Structure 1
Amino acid sequence: MGRHKQPEIRDRILDACVDHALAHGLPDRLEPFAVASRTSTRMLIYHFGTRDALLRETLRRARRRQRDFFGELVSPRPDEPYLSTLRRAWRVMTGPDGRPYLSMFGKLREDAEQQLWPGFRGEATTDWLRPLEDGMRSIGRPELGTLVLAVVRGLIMDIEATGDVSRADQAFDDFLAVLAPAAVRAGPRIPGQDAGREVDTAAGPGDEGQARSAW
């Protein structure tokens, strides 16, 4: 009788493959994944069947991590004005912690055939809409979630194309300043805080010099 596959070993291998892919990109061969997961290419095939099957599972688990991470960033917080939440989320998503996800899935979006994940472009366009709508609902404007999503995605693509991080950061701050009056009208103001300060409560522009890829 053959050996029974052990789900916990498979899960550990997959997590190691995701860590490697986020740090270095998806490999063309299985050997880098074998080294990263401290196993052999034979065992990778044993647990996942084919190279493409392993790559697909790696992408999907990485996307799940990204959804959890970015979803938490854009979720409204009871002790923080939502525009401040958005500003902080932008800095983190396009900074060192978020950049590996943007790079990985930016390349997948550029894949014309999308053989590893058919339909990814459509999913990637809408899967952040619900959290942003929930956040904008906290200031009484859930319908603006689509606008926020479009601005974020557009500015990230701008950074990817030009590498001009500071200009994109300033544009996002300008966008939040435009939204500020709607946020003030939506609910009670915090004593001592005006619309401008609501936008400015988060950390200032970062100094990241590397281009950041598509959301």
Structure 2
Amino acid sequence: MGRHKQPQIRDRILDACVDHALANGLPDRLEPFAAAAGTSPRMLIYHFGSRDALLRETLGRARRRQRDFVGKLLCPQPDEPYLTTLRRAWLVMTGPGGRPYLSMFGKLREDAQQQLWPGFRREATTDWLQPLEDGMRSIGRPELATLVLAVVRGLIMDLEATGDAPRVDQAFDDFLASLAPVATEGSRVVLAESGADSPSGPGRDRA
């Protein structure tokens, strides 16, 4: 009688593989994953079937982590101007906590064949759109979420290609400055609809 696979062990192994891939990139062989998970290549095949199947599951779980991570950053916060939320989100997304995800999925996006994740570029294009729409709705302009997302993605590509963080950060600040009048006007609309007496525009956190 064969052994029964234990889901909790499989889950622990997969988390270890995701941690390793985020820190070091996707390996060409199973041995680095096996060492990271404290197991053997044979057991990886036992639990996941093949190297490519393990790589696909690793990418899928890493992407879910990134969606949760970024989604929380982009969600509107009570009593905080949304442009301030966006600036903090940008700094965290492109900082030490977010860069491993950008590196992993930037390489996947550049893969012309997309063998491990067919259609990834199309699927990943709008997966941050909903929290951005919610945030921009808080200043009365949800239709600008696509523009904000396009700017974020474009500047991330610039940062990954050049590593010039000061220039790219300044470009993002300049973009937020261009949104400030829109946000102020949107706040007036929202406040008027809610019956508030006086508007107040969003400030920018330069810290």
Both structures adopt the same fold (TM-score exceeding 0.5): yes
* AA at the equivalent of 2:22: L
Partner of 1:156: 156
Q: State the distance in 2 between where 1:113 and 1:187 align.
A: 45
> Does 1:178 find its partner at 2:183?
no
Cα offset for 1:79? 2.1
Partner of 1:48: 48
Partner of 1:59: 59
Partner of 2:73: 73
Cα offset for 1:187? 2.0
Please list, as runs of the form range in 1=range in 2, the aligned pairs for 1:1-215 lying within 5 A after superposition: 1-187=1-187, 195=201, 198-199=203-204, 201=205, 203=207
**Secondary structure of 2:125 counterpart:** helix
Cα offset for 1:202? 5.1
Q: State the distance in 1 between where 2:206 and 2:142 align.
A: 22
Partner deviation per Cα, 1:12-56 (whole Å, 9 max, x = no partner): 000000000000000000000000000000100000000000000
RMSD: 1.4
Q: How many residues align?
A: 198
* AA at the equivalent of 2:98: G
Q: Which runs of 5+ in 1 are unaligned?
A: 204-215
C-alpha contact 2:75 2:134 (8 A) present in aligned 1: yes
Q: Which runs of 5+ in 2 are unaligned?
A: 192-198
- TM-score (norm: length of structure 2): 0.92
Moved more, 179-188 or 43-52: 179-188
C-alpha contact 1:88 1:202 (8 A) present in aligned 2: no
* AA at the equivalent of 1:48: F
**Secondary structure of 1:183 counterpart:** helix
Q: State the distance in 2 between where 1:38 and 1:146 align.
A: 43
* AA at the equivalent of 2:95: G
Q: State the distance in 2 between where 1:47 and 1:4 align.
A: 10
Q: State the distance in 2 between where 1:171 and 1:52 align.
A: 39
C-alpha contact 1:71 1:128 (8 A) present in aligned 2: yes
Q: State the distance in 2 between where 1:5 and 1:202 align.
A: 52
Q: Percent identity?
A: 80
C-alpha contact 1:109 1:121 (8 A) present in aligned 2: yes
* AA at the equivalent of 1:125: T
**Secondary structure of 1:178 counterpart:** helix
More relative contact order, 1 or 2 (CA 8 Å, 6+ apart) = 1
C-alpha contact 1:139 1:186 (8 A) present in aligned 2: yes
Q: State the distance in 2 between where 1:106 and 1:70 align.
A: 15
Q: State the distance in 1 between where 2:169 and 2:100 align.
A: 18
Q: State the distance in 2 between where 1:93 and 1:79 align.
A: 22
* AA at the equivalent of 1:198: G
Q: State the distance in 2 between where 1:141 and 1:61 align.
A: 32
* AA at the equivalent of 2:136: M
Q: State the distance in 2 between where 1:20 and 1:131 align.
A: 28
Q: State the distance in 2 between where 1:83 and 1:154 align.
A: 18
